[in-house]
Amino acid sequence: MSVAKSASLTLEEFLKLPETKPASLYIDGEIILKPMPKTRHSRLQAKLIDGINDVLDGVDLKLTVEQLFGWLKMKAE
């Protein structure tokens, strides 16, 4: 796996840059492109979402695939 790196920069400079897809990470002054998740990761992610939503059954919150740890307020059905 190869990772793209750039010249060293400050956190302030990094935060001024536009967002990228896939996301970029700032580690020790370098920008590293975040690798895309593999199939196994995606399957585990889906199981985690289903498990959390089962616990939330009847509550006005649901976990979304788009934002695994972001909550979307929804009306309970």
In this predicted model, what pLDDT tens digit does every residue of 6-50 receive, in sequence order? 568 898 999 899 988 878 888 998 998 888 778 898 888 888 888
The residue with greater pLDDT, 74 or 61, is 61
The residue with greater pLDDT, 3 or 30, is 30
DSSP string, the chain: ----------HHHHHHSPP-SSPEEEETTEEEEPPPPPHHHHHHHHHHHHHHHHHTTTSSEEE-STTTT-EEE----
The model carries a pTM of: 0.42
- pLDDT of 71 > 50? The answer is no
Task: Name the band, by pLDDT with cuts 50, 70 and 90, for residue 70.
Answer: very low
